[in-house]
Structure 1
Amino acid sequence: MAKCKLSGKGPQYGNNLPWSKKTTRRRWQPNVQKYSIFVPELGRTVKIKASTRAMKSVNKLGLMAYLRKHNLTLKDVT
């Protein structure tokens, strides 16, 4: 199951709705990527699985600031 370690975003569920209107259940996976980011506070590179939305926020704030803002530790996401 694809799940973002930073935001906790997981799959969403819904219905396929074709032209005949016969619905069947399906699920949408979040866009989760393996991501390496250099953390200057630690002086090393950290590998995480993150959604592209979370990656954009980490690029803007920095990893440690993002973790502090969301009350996470580095051990929670690696």
Structure 2
Amino acid sequence: MARVCQITGKRPQVGNNVSHANNKTKRRFYPNLQKKRFYLPEEDKWITLKVSTKAIKTINKHGITAVLKEAKANGNLVL
């Protein structure tokens, strides 16, 4: 599976390694993804999502149900 957050849609970004001599070579900045299980009380089941740490903080703040609804509306959620 790709390195994409299932809630926020964060993806790897491209940038440069810059040496002391100012030589530039391409590199990738990866999002901090974690595999995490969440409990859905409405459906009485557990789901496993690959989410960024920012998404985990958002889920803690707003709740899993509201965040899943918003992610489906944005088209980010892939289950």
TM class, shorter-chain normalised?
Answer: 0.7 to 0.9
Gaps of 5+ in 1: none
1:4-33 Cα deviation digits (max 9, x unpaired): 111110001111111010000100110011
Amino acid at match of 1:4: C
1:45 to partner: Cα distance: 1.0
Q: Is 1:62 aligned to 2:63, yes or no?
A: yes
Q: Post-superposition, which runs of at least 4 consecutive aligned residues in structure 1 deviate over 4 A?
A: none
TM-score, structure 2 as length reference: 0.85
Amino acid at match of 2:78: V
The share of aligned pairs that are identical, in percent, is 37
1:28-70 Cα deviation digits (max 9, x unpaired): 1100110101111111111110011011101211111112234
User: Cα 1:42–1:72, aligned 2, differ >3 Å: closer, same or farther?
Assistant: farther
C-alpha contact (below 8 Å) 1:15/1:26 kept by paired residues:
yes
Write the distance in 1 (CA, Å) between the matches of 2:68 and 2:39.
Answer: 14
Gaps of 5+ in 2: none
RMSD: 1.6
Q: How many residues align?
A: 76
Partner of 1:13: 14
TM-score, structure 1 as length reference: 0.86
